[in-house]
């Protein structure tokens, strides 16, 4: 009798477990997804924060709500102003890699090149899916160092993302409408990796489509040389417009001057209209025009993240150029420079600062 009772309990327990197994499997399938967003910048940077915000918008639009069905981890490497030497960037990357190992996210998002090099390229062909946003360097150049991509159309490994297309030609077409007599412009960069990558991207875009303007490229290696160059250009009547692309400069005392400080000084001391790389730079005083829409670029990256969370592999998703630019203008700066922006251009603008 005792053996029969034990057998009865065993059978009932087995049947009970079987009846609940679909619900257990369902509960397991509904575990929150996890993404880890790593920014090269500090947390509120003019270039980094809009991309971060865009990623969150896109994944939310795809149905992933933070705290409900997705967990979001973030880390700001602050590699543009504070941790901006190769050794410090490497150390920041090691910190992030340790955190990723602990969290084991479904997707890692890296914003800008320092995070891409220090984090993404260390995880090539791992089980972590990776999406980059705002990459300035050419994918093929990175691929020469570490094989992470078969082609832009089908990367084939575990990384995809969005390249920071500058829409450089379009920016100067708009400037030509504002200033019909424009014949010469100067592009001013720094000698950082990002500065060199921006120049290379400009040449790439000019090779695909030209504009009837003579371009002169200048590179500043220090804060002092940059200021001297801006003052020299400002007094040159042959130069109609400048395209400031320097985002990080150190002075003779080793003090770092970041993008916002560079822009503010330029606006205060230059008498030439400025076209911004990032449309938000117009808010800091630049004249404006057609600039990269960093929020939209983040949304593009976030859309790729959502596809991966829904079962796609990063290696099967094509690498994209940033699709959208934004028209923005600072009317106070226009008035200061004596420039009249045509009403049809203003009506088509995304934002106007007064």
Residue 13: how many CB atoms within 10 A of its CB? 10
Query: pLDDT tens, 220-246?
Result: 999 999 999 999 999 999 999 999 999
Residue 16: pLDDT above 50? no
Query: pLDDT tens, 67-80?
Result: 899 999 999 999 98
Q: How many angstroms separate the CA atoms of 133 and 145, rounded?
A: 20
CA count, 13 A, side-chain hemisphere, 34:
13
Residue 27: pLDDT above 80? no
Q: What is the pLDDT of residue 46?
A: 85
Residue 267: pLDDT above 80? yes
Query: pLDDT tens, 45-73?
Result: 888 999 999 999 999 999 999 889 999 99
Q: Average pLDDT of the chain?
A: 91
Residue of 54, 48, 57 whose CA lies nearest to 75: 48
Please state which of the ranges 30-34, 53-57, 98-102, 125-129 shows the lowest mean pLDDT: 30-34
Is the separation of the CB atoms in 52 and 37 below 8 Å? yes
Q: What is the pLDDT of residue 10?
A: 44
Q: What is the pLDDT of residue 6?
A: 40
Q: What is the pLDDT of residue 308?
A: 98
When pLDDT is averaged across residues 296-313 and rounded to a whole number, the result is: 97
Chain region(s) in the chain for CATH 3.40.50.2300: 33-164+295-324, 168-293+326-353
CATH class of the domain whose range is 168-293+326-353:
alpha beta
Could you tell me the pLDDT band of residue 9, with boundaries at 50, 70 and 90?
A: very low
Q: What is the pLDDT of residue 307?
A: 98
CATH class of the domain whose range is 33-164+295-324:
alpha beta
């Amino acid at each position: 009798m005792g053996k029969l009772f034990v057998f009865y309990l065993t059978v009932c327990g087995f049947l009970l477990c079987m009846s609940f197994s679909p619900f257990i499997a369902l509960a397991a399938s509904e575990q929150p997804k996890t993404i880890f967003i790593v920014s090269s910048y500090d947390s509120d940077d003019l270039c980094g924060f809009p991309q971060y915000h865009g990623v969150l918008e896109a994944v939310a639009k795809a149905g992933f709500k933070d705290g409900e069905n997705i967990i979001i981890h973030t880390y700001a490497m602050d590699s543009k102003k504070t941790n901006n030497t190769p050794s410090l960037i490497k150390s920041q990357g090691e910190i992030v890699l340790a955190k990723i190992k602990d969290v084991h996210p479904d997707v890692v998002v890296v914003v800008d090149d320092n995070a891409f090099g220090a984090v993404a390229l260390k995880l090539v062909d791992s089980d972590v899916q990776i999406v980059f946003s705002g990459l300035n360097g050419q994918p093929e150049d990175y691929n020469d160092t570490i094989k992470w991509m078969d082609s832009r159309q089908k990367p084939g490994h575990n990384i995809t993302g969005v390249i920071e297309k500058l829409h450089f030609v379009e920016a100067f077409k708009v400037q030509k409408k504002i200033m019909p007599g424009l014949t010469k412009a100067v592009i001013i960069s720094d000698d950082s990796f990002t500065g060199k990558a921006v120049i290379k991207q400009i040449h790439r875009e000019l090779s695909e489509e030209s504009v009837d303007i003579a371009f002169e490229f200048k590179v500043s290696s220090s804060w002092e040389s940059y200021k001297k160059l801006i003052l020299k250009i400002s007094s040159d009547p042959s130069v109609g417009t400048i395209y400031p692309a320097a985002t990080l400069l150190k002075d003779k005392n080793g003090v770092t001057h970041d993008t916002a400080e560079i822009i503010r000084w330029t606006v205060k001391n230059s008498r030439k209209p400025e076209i911004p790389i990032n449309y938000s730079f117009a808010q800091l005083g630049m004249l404006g025009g057609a600039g990269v829409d960093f929020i939209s670029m983040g949304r593009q990256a976030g859309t790729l993240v959502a596809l991966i969370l829904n079962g796609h592999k990063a290696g099967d998703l094509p690498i994209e150029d940033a699709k959208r630019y934004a028209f923005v203008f600072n009317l106070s700066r226009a008035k200061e420079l004596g420039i009249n922006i045509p009403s049809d251009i203003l009506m088509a603008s995304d934002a106007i600062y007064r």
